[in-house]
Amino acid sequence: MPDPIIPYAALRAGGACVEGIRSRFPALRAAGIKIPRRYSTLAIPLSEILRASGFGAAIDMIWYAEIEEPWIRLLACDCSEHALLRERVAGREPDPRSWRAIEVSRAFARGEATADELEKAWVKALHEVAEAYYMIMPSSQYAASAAAHSADREPSFAALHAAMMAVKAYDQPSQEAVHAWLSRRLHLYLAEAEIPPVEAP
């Protein structure tokens, strides 16, 4: 399911409120997407939501529709790696446990690592999060947390959400740039296109 269909019924079942869903309609209509009179019949491909409303809206739809796909975990790993590379550029070399967490999480998404291996990487990365916290290194803490949660055994969307927390350590222009970058990568995943390596910000 590279480009999942997001049904209205699934959004409501996942806890999305009617007002929240309807707040997305103007952007969808502006993008040329027809909204049926009977909202219950609404079903839109995720790629169309991404095109019309951006990355944040697409992630909300993944959350409420409870979409669970390997590429969501891979996107979480991309976000985590971006955060770690940002730390490196800033002169703060990330702990090897964070890099390992991303490596194992990607392998797990591809079916090349076990749940036990994933859990071990997660626990080790969590130790780094605790160490970074007590050393009062906010940016490093966010980056380590992103890596740790990307290796979490929980649903991959939760991993992506946690990885995106790393973005909150950025200033506003950087946050916008990261969201634009993630939008482009999400589009590639949905199109089953070749995914380029993550580059330093």
**How far apart are alpha carbons 183 and 145 in whole angstroms?**
22
> DSSP letter at 2?
-
Cα-Cα-Cα-Cα dihedral sign, residues 106, 107, 109, 110: positive
Tell me the pLDDT tens digit for each residue of 106-123.
Answer: 999 999 999 999 999 988
Rounded to the nearest 5°, which phi and psi values hold at 34?
Answer: -80, 130
- The label of the residue with tokens 């947390």 reads 145
Residue 138 pLDDT exceeds 70: no
Bridge partner list, 7: 43
Percent of the chain with pLDDT over 90: 49
Strand partners, 43: 7
Q: Across the chain, what does the average pLDDT equal? A: 87
Six-digit token pair at 163?
A: 């990885």
Query: Helix or strand or coil: residue 7?
Result: strand
Between CA 29 and CA 52 the distance in angstroms is 8
Q: CA 157, CA 146: separation in Å to the nearest integer?
A: 12
Cβ contacts of residue 127 below 8 Å, gap of 6+?
Answer: 97
Alpha helix ranges (H) inside 65-136: 70-89, 96-109, 115-134
**Hunting for tokens 């019924």 — which residue is that?**
9
pLDDT tens-digit series, residues 71-82:
999 998 998 898
